[in-house]
Structure 1
């Protein structure tokens, strides 16, 4: 080491001071490494789509379809089929035949598993006059439910009330839907 009195006399002192200053400055620079802040990534903003809400049923749907209005059950239940399946005769009312003078026919009302059927009974045949269906479990009810659901799809979606008629507006079917399924149906075929 160089003695202190010599340092002050020589030109070494200013150089040493400079050397020491740089040394100290370099020690400070060796502190913890400086981490450059990374630019935050710009996130793509996704447009939040609201959750799909169930489509509210239309109040009333009307559909014109000759096949569906004329044959809503597909194969129409007959008096014999209903009686053999356990239907009960509720009433028999005499009805004067409009086409045969002196002939009296019968309006026959049957009840089967909560459903009501009214037939025009003549010696030649039985014609369905009206049906009110609230129980769709029997085979005829399942066929009717299928017809009503298909009709609702054809009319553009769920309906609160559905009316199906033919082009002549003679045959008609009307139904009330609850929770997207038929709960009550009235079938009224044309009778002369």
Structure 2
């Protein structure tokens, strides 16, 4: 009885950790340009690592890595702006001052914005707002539908398969982490490079 309980707990923990890793991305896992990451991402082909069945018979999600400059660089196509999101009911939930590294004495702002269950982080500089991070779980808004369409063109998992997809650009600076559950798009984490 105790063994069955421990196996069930381990399987649940593995699934939770996999989901968190898909949404966190490289900033939370280590430096973007580490030699480990460079070895894992092949700039010309897709690499697959099949998930292994656990002792309880449940297969964990397999990890798929690929390089796609267009998708990693502009996952939404036309990127949503702060003004568009606010006009469509989005709410700024946090503002944080941030010292500009390129202009002495200039203080910019980091905005955390929520829109229909999706979360965006923008770096607001004097000249424009730059997307720093986005976590998409609701695919009803137009920007999320564009993202889903671009994802479908880049990769289609088999029906019923759970996968964690990691898309980077050739320079290994922009990343899109995607989670498919049962062959369906479940969550996307967009991490554009900002200096």
Alignment partner of 1:125 is 2:128? yes
Alignment partner of 1:112 is 2:115? yes
Higher Rg of the two aligned structures: 1
Deviation (angstroms), 1:174 = 0.3
Partner of 1:144: 147
Partner of 1:93: 96
Q: So what's the TM-score if we normalise by structure 2?
A: 0.66
Mind listing any 5+ residue stretches in structure 1 that lack a counterpart?
Answer: 1-55
Structure 2 Cα separation of the partners of residues 181 and 103 of structure 1: 44
Structure 2 Cα separation of the partners of residues 67 and 88 of structure 1: 29
Deviation (angstroms), 1:179 = 2.2
Report if aligned partners of 1:61, 1:152 keep a CA contact under 8 Å in 2: no
**Residue 79 of structure 1: which of 68, 79, 82 is its match?**
82
Deviation (angstroms), 1:146 = 1.3
Taking only aligned residues, the RMSD between alpha carbons, in angstroms, comes to 1.7
Structure 2 Cα separation of the partners of residues 115 and 87 of structure 1: 9
Measured against aligned partners, the alpha-carbon deviations of 1:116-155 in whole angstroms (never above 9, x if no partner) come to 00000011000000000010010011111112222223xx
SS of corresponding position for 1:69:
helix
Q: So what's the TM-score if we normalise by structure 1?
A: 0.67
Report if aligned partners of 1:149, 1:181 keep a CA contact under 8 Å in 2: no
Mind listing any 5+ residue stretches in structure 2 that lack a counterpart?
Answer: 1-58
